[in-house]
Structure 1
């Protein structure tokens, strides 16, 4: 087992600059050798054709624990004093941070308690326990779990390990930026998902410093889910702003307020922040599965979503960070179906029909004429809004894209039917 020596990287509070320095991040990378993996960087022909410039994928979904979180969590834990270690640590998370803290604490022999919300996916719960942490299921959301974790810290003296709002966390995440610069020295743009901001802050600090040392520049672009995007508002206001979020499939970056520490770095170093919709993210997951053969969680796919949605301008070699791969199989099933629908490759339609023989056969003939592949059929006389002389046909079909989908619907309409596309 590799151990980390916190003393060799300690920095006095009066000496700490606002933005992590390149030597600090490089020292963190050395201290994490043998604890984390140097994850692969793979070229994507499909995304390169979409963007019009070379695109590489940073496969951090293959990191230990399945996420970048282990970098910052482990480095943060390594900075604790012997007295702090003896008191133990506590954290709150629905998955990735929980596993990162649990593994880091196991590596360093630190007792760890993790608060997770009720209903957390079973694989994430079992993985966190598997790394030796004590797991407490508390509350319906991560926010409630975090409150309980803070109360636990105050009650027991355990050190609260925040998922993003600490300088050591930013430094640890910055080691990912070093790997990108090492493996793609000609990179001009790096795309990174943003939740609280710890990852992009660390990557920006590392990449900008490395590029400056080489006498060139690199753009760092953040990507947020449209339904949970406090950074554009906060950057415009010049300070962290709390917003009201909406549900998003990218729950890993569902944060309602930027962290103070990462915001200070991001406001100075990050070039742009864009947003993507859930449909964009679902399409990205589907593209990554089909074209890159990688499984990524929704929060980890937002950089690719930004490319597919046309939110990024090509300037040269581009790296999209796939920040994690911890997706529940049942969610993956739903997201793939949503991605197929959003791409125009799958739809479920409802068609009211006269209750007389031959109607189902006629619809089948029209779908065959359109070249649509029937997946599932439901034919019933029971349904809201039906006349006594009507039945309803609910049919799921596979199509080849948006144009083919519209052609299929138009063929049905031209034949006198009234198809209604049902939501996913």
Structure 2
């Protein structure tokens, strides 16, 4: 089974009246600085502060009510956790969320406040999938995967569907798009929708420089993993390898990947706040950082960039705002 644009349209129907439709934001100052036209889709304004609500709600909406009532389980560093927790709350279903100990405190607290039970694990020494399988067997829970699940990908793809609709409304044909990539649920769905609307568009995955598994996997034609010793502040997209389903989509729809440093992500967080008036988290802003750092040239072209989340701890956001200049791309 794979995901089609019709699946994304069906997800959009389920999400109508539930998900927010963030506008495309534009800054004349950023356009002047970059020498082109930049349109930003701020999913940091979505319910729970990220695009993850879309895939989670679509998945729960499509479940058999009796199965849903027994409860759902998910593993996440925080954004998928919150999306599943809120979706379960809206359906009156219990939710158990497996989160890493080092997830931002804001994300752990928000997940619990949506009514979910939070189970913590060590991402560097414990296997979250094994822990989840034990809990599913003990409690009869149904797994909502963070990215490698058709209904999740279709829900995240509604971001791309909205971008295409909003570009058409504005009379804009984008030359390329940049989107954060972790496991690939978002960029998989977004690329399907955008390539359907704009067949010539290039869609590029953006990642932390040491977590460039998408870039290397696309270049080599097979899924590769990151070095287990790699670290980054971009907690929302620190997956070890692209998903199986999402990579099969990406092989057909994606162009070359681009990696950014943590410092470039922080600087982009600062500029997103100052120029676009939005709060973005490090993993959510890597696509914007790829442009603002000069790793991708915009000159004379039009680009759409997804800012995928805004769930950032206050201390880290203050660190971003305290940066005085943009780091140079290596």
So what's the TM-score if we normalise by structure 1? 0.72
Query: Residues 147-204 of structure 1: CA distance to partner in whole angstroms, max 9, x if unpaired?
Result: 3223211332211111011111110000000111111122222110111111000000
The residue number in structure 2 matching 1:193 is 180
Runs (5+) with no aligned partner, structure 2: none
How many residues matched? 322
The question of 1:77 aligning with 2:60 is answered yes
8 A contact 2:225–2:241 mirrored in 1: yes
Equivalent in the alignment of 2:112: 129
**Conserved 8 A contact 1:54-1:317:** yes
Q: Residues 340, 150 of structure 1: CA spacing in aligned structure 2 closer, same or farther, 3 A cutoff? A: farther
Classify the secondary structure of the residue corresponding to 1:272: coil
1:304 matched to 2:288? The reply is yes
Distance 1:150 1:28, change over 3 A: same
> 1:273-330 CA deviation, whole Å, 9 max, x = no partner?
1111112212211211222222100111111111122222336321111100000001
Structure 1 or 2, whichever has the larger Rg, is 1
Whether 1:47 aligns to 2:30 is yes
Give the 5 Å matches for 1:169-188.
169-185=152-168, 186=172, 187-188=174-175
Note closer, same or farther for the CA distance 1:198–1:143 as it changes in structure 2 (3 Å cut): farther
Asked whether the 8 Å contact 1:91–1:146 carries over to 2, the reply is: no
Aligned Cα root-mean-square deviation (Å): 2.0
Tell me the SS of whatever aligns to 2:232: coil
1:285/1:142 CA distance change after superposition, 3 Å: farther
Q: Once the 2 structures are TM-superposed, how far is the Cα of residue 267 of structure 1 from its aligned partner?
A: 1.0
- 1:305-344 to structure 2, matched below 5 A, reads 305-314=289-298, 316-337=301-322, 339-340=323-324, 343=327
How far, CA to CA, are the matches of 1:142 and 1:195 in structure 2? 20
| Aligned residue number for residue 262 of structure 1 | 246
Q: Distance in 1 between matches of 2:103 and 2:302?
A: 38
Q: Matched residues in 2 for 1:340 and 1:140: separation? A: 33
> Which of 127, 132, 143 is residue 160 of structure 1 equivalent to?
143
Instruction: Please say if residues 195 and 258 of structure 1, whose CA atoms lie closer than 8 Å, have aligned partners that are also in contact.
Output: yes
Question: Whole-Å Cα distance in 2 between the matches of residues 341 and 110 of structure 1?
Answer: 47
Distance 1:196 1:143 in 2: 19
Unmatched 5+ stretches in structure 1: 1-15, 345-424
The Cα shift of 1:29 comes to 0.4
Task: Determine helix, strand or coil for the equivalent of 1:224.
Answer: strand
Distance verdict in 2 for CA 1:149–1:320, change over 3 Å: same
The answer to whether the aligner puts 1:63 opposite 2:46 as a matched pair is: yes
Q: Counterpart of 1:163 in 2: which secondary structure?
A: coil
Task: Say which structure, 1 or 2, has more relative contact order (CA 8 Å, 6+ apart).
Answer: 2
Q: Does 1:205 align with 2:192?
A: yes
Which of 193-202 and 88-97 deviates more?
88-97
- The 1:239/1:298 distance shift into structure 2, 3 A limit, reads same
